[in-house]
Amino acid sequence: MAGLTPAIYFPYIDLEAKPLWELLLWFQKLVILQPAFSCPSPFTEEAQNLDWVAVRRPLALGLDKKEVRALLGEWERLGHLYQEGGYLRYLQHAGLESEEDSRWSLARKIRDYGSGVMDRSPEEETLRGQLLLQLAQDLERQRNEIQEELASLEETQARMLLHLGVEEADLPEWMAEPLPTLEQDDFLIPQRVKAWAEMLAVLEEGKAFPLLTTNRLVLEHLLEKAVEMAAQQGGAPPVALMQLELPLFWPLDVQEVARMRRGLEGWVPWETFCEKMEGFLQELRGLGALEIQAFLPKARALASYFLQEVRDQILERVAGMEPRWKQGWRNALLQVVALPGWDAGCLKGDFSTRDGGNLVILQIETSPQGASTG
């Protein structure tokens, strides 16, 4: 099956259905890391049954069952309190004073976990990091639910005022300040990347596949760290290799993604590009810093081939399969960046055992909720 090279999705432990189907149209396979105690969502299992997704759940070794139960109990208790603190955080955005609540101190305490400032064993840190990932995802899901409720309230308010005779131009602006989107909120990104890297370090795929993220702030965090380490240790700075505009379609479900993937099978320009891209990324991982710079013309040629021979033709093929699919799409920028000399250990802040390879990061912006523009 043709598709972009398999990739490891990070730093999230699971995906919402919509971005998962968007990504799986283009990527042959995704490896998703989850904490050992977590359960996959139904749509992740569906993708796994189709061999589109491989879910890995590395377990923190060295902990007996009593220790695991004790740590889980502590984190569940703190996690529930922090979830309440997360809701209070929204109320503060809406104008209510709530930071004096005692639960905010617990929220700040949780932010310290997984950052290395606590005096814990490596095994405990690994498990706590996995719990932190679970907590962060739960909070993001909660935030999205709040946003949906607020949008519904705003629509209801507008309908009522229009029914009372208020002109549309005179409708009041919605008073509550919206919560930040994922692209604006850097909630626990350093801690989440570190915790996620603990799991990546034990996987063979971590040395073979590039890392894929949909969060621009994650890429910015890694680039900042890479520039900082290059300045301190005299290493090579990160290298931006290419940018591609991938069309993302919305809405999609698993059947539609399967139909699109079948429609691209055997199409020579797409398969040629995927083969060249996979070879490009494999070769890139073993290059030295100076060789990467010399590799840039090859990257530009590959991006040019995609633009001239693949992108617009894919849109036409998709429209030929189902015209309505072309009505709901947008361009998504796929960035390919190399971090010379990095490995999974560098992601968690350990630069003492680098293997001399290069870490390849793919960053793509999936469609925002409700977007259907083209």
**Mean pLDDT per 10-residue run, the chain (374 residues)?**
85 78 92 76 89 82 55 56 49 41 44 44 65 68 70 76 72 53 61 83 81 91 90 87 90 89 93 95 87 92 96 89 82 93 82 77 70 34
- Which H or E run contains 333? strand 329-340
Q: Where are the domains of the chain?
A: 17-58+203-364, 65-170
Contacts (Cβ under 8 Å, ≥6 apart) of 263: 317, 318, 321
In the β-sheet with 7-9, what is the strand arrangement from edge to edge? 53-56, 30-33, 7-9, 211-213, 358-364, 329-340, 239-249
Dist. CA 261–CA 22, nearest whole Å: 11
Q: What is the pTM of this model?
A: 0.73
Please give the C-alpha separations between residue 183 and each of 23, 26, 150, in angstroms, as whole numbers: 17, 22, 19
Please give the C-alpha separations between residue 231 and each of 195, 234, 241, 359, in angstroms, as whole numbers: 25, 5, 20, 18
Return the residue matching tokens 């596949």.
209
Q: Which two tokens stand for residue 238?
A: 């990160």
Length of the chain: 374
Contacts (Cβ under 8 Å, ≥6 apart) of 128: 71, 75, 113, 114, 118, 120, 195
DSSP tag of 323: G
Backbone torsion region of residue 167, taken as left when φ is above 0, otherwise alpha when ψ lies between -120 and 50, otherwise beta: beta
Indicate the pairing of strand 329-340 with strand 358-364: antiparallel
